[in-house]
Amino acid sequence: MSDIISLLPDHVANQIAAGEVVQRPSSVVKELLENSVDSGATEIHLIIQDAGKTLIQVVDNGKGMSYADARMAFERHATSKIKLADDLFDLHTMGFRGEALASIAAVAQVELKTRPHDEDLGTELRIEGSKVIHQKVCQCGGGTSLAVSNLFFNIPARRQFLKSDNVENRHIIDAFEHVALANPEIAFKFTQNNVEIFHLPEGNYRQRITSVFGKKFNERLVPVEEITDVVALSGFVLKPQYARKTRGEQFFFVNDRFIKNSYLHHAVNHAFEHLIKGDEHPSYFLYLRIDPKRIDVNIHPTKTEIKFDDEKAIYAIIRSAVKHALGQFNIAPTLDFNQNVGDIPIPDPTRAVIPPTIQVDPNFNPFNTETPKTPAQSSGASSSFKSSSFGKTPTDNWQELYKGSESTESGNIQISSGWEDDTIEKNATHFQLDNRYVITKVKSALIAIHQQRAHRRINYERFLQVLNGHHAPSQQLLFPISIHMNGGEMEALKSVNDTLHRMGFELEFPSAQQVLVQGIPMHISDGETQIVLDQLVEDVKSDADVFRNDPSHAMAKSLSSHIGIKNGQVLNREEMQHLIDELFACEMPYTDIFGRPIIVQIGLDELDKKFR
């Protein structure tokens, strides 16, 4: 029997290893940025072209590498971080396995330029598909510049599975934010397609968070701090009123390393119990400092998952610290007695004090059936009730209460639902119940209409009709609305900008983090604009595939979810009638955009049973 087991060639083994480490362009960004952090750099510049498919370059001012180290860095299992197996449990750096550069060089074209600050000349090294093309002495700046070009050029099957540029860009921005938020003492710059996306100066954690997510976050942050023998916890949670329907800014960092941990995430959610709705998610930036001997970061190739030796204790500490921080945060306004609020006027002692007067109608008779004129009315003074129905006696025009209760042949709205006597009369009396339901009647029943769901259905079909037809009219704003967004939000918004333009939005992007709204659709007010766009961005980020595969449906659904009539909004008679008219003009008036009922019928038979 012949031998069938053999060693894999190095280039094949490297490509297999790259499948674990280099999953997409953002994986390369993460590894290169972490290497720059480990090099002691104080300034790091990330350069991206075509969502990382053409170029990923990281330039830093770290300590650089010698001629021999530059070549050795691309060998598998070559590392300066560990010498013994015991060193795995005393790690103070990001990378340590010695796999990243070898894996990247196996699936891309890599060019390295590096020079230690105490040397006059540096090293230039070029590798393609694990094969060294050349290595030579060169002139370059102190530190390291590593450019990764044409990712997966030698594995076309892997390249074709990459997502669209917008999706890959969002993953790259996420990887950049993870490293930048963990290292506020380092200045970062991020350039994408020759446009500067981020320029983050060095600072503290609060300054870094506001630099990444905007100045609006500064007033939303609640500081969290707890120091114990198990873990030192610091960071911020966002105030409960800023909780989101989707998981937004949720960051755990352990020893300056971004991690994902559903168990610790549950601890934060538990601390927000009864402060936010069940379908909302809190945002947080929590930094844990723990003895490296008490954690294992070597359980996952990307090192985003770690194991704690006492996870239950850390859970209890996080929950307690966040609860304590939220308890200290007082939602009621406080008075600052040191603040000058103005001088209290001193009364003039020479001025006569005029006592208040009370007017009494001597002709008032509670048993008189006629409505007497008040002094204000007799003198021609204005009264808010003068022309109102509230000025009438309870028995005046009592017949009007029952107007419209009889069927008329004209002006009726037919409900094709299979109900008997299914006609809503045009002049029927409608009223609101708890400012949530519009109650009206058909010939043999009452119907209750959920006003928020009804208006969502109306807006959804209206937006869908616009998107499936021609360009919608836009109302131009006299004063454009300026909105600040971070890099990931900008990418999400730009990915649906064409669809927004058809809806009637006129957007401009004067800078990498600013959106200028010049025009909005006719059915959206300028006061709703920022809320609508913020929520739209969250929907795009959470359901990117839906927006890519069916943009019209996704856009109409998102916009109709965040505008229009809400529960608790008072409607007058004309508004209720208009809502009913528009609802039953819809193709599907009985269920909302999430499949929930809009209309409930209460028949006479059901009412009769209640009186038995």
Task: Categorize the per-residue pLDDT at 32 as very low, low, confident or very high, splitting at 50, 70 and 90.
Answer: very high
pLDDT tens figures, 5-23: 767 676 666 666 555 678 8
As a residue count, the chain comes to 612
The three-class DSSP label of residue 566 is coil
Q: For residue 493, which of 532, 466, 455, 464 has the smallest C-alpha distance?
A: 532
CA–CA dist 283, 212 (Å, integer): 14
Quick one: the chain helix, strand, coil %, rounded to 5? Answer: 35, 25, 45
Alpha-helical runs (H) found in 235-306:
262-271
pLDDT tens figures, 458-477: 988 888 888 887 667 888 88
Tell me what pLDDT residue 317 has.
94
Alpha-helical runs (H) found in 277-400:
311-328, 375-378
Judged on CB neighbours under 10 Å (0-12, 13-18, 19+), 213 is buried
Listing DSSP states for 96-126 in one string gives -SS-HHHHHHHSSEEEEEEE-TT-S-EEEEE
Contact 277, 325 (CB under 8 A): no
Burial of 499-509, coded b for 16+ CB within 10 Å and e otherwise, reads bbebbbbbbee
| Backbone angles phi and psi of 48, in degrees to 5 | -125, 140
Q: Which residue has the tokens 């808010």?
A: 384
pLDDT tens figures, 259-291: 988 899 999 999 998 888 888 889 999 999 998
Q: For residue 543, which of 244, 247, 329, 340 has the smallest C-alpha distance?
A: 247
Cα-based distances in Å from 153 to 134, 425, 428, 541:
19, 69, 70, 28
What would the two tokens of residue 156 be?
């076309």
The pLDDT of residue 175 is above 60: yes
pLDDT tens figures, 370-426: 555 544 444 444 333 333 333 344 445 544 544 444 433 434 444 444 444 455 555
Cβ-Cβ contacts under 8 Å for 88 (sequence gap 6 or more):
82, 96, 296, 298
Name all domains of the chain by residue range, CATH numbers in brackets: 10-200 (3.30.565.10), 205-328 (3.30.230.10)
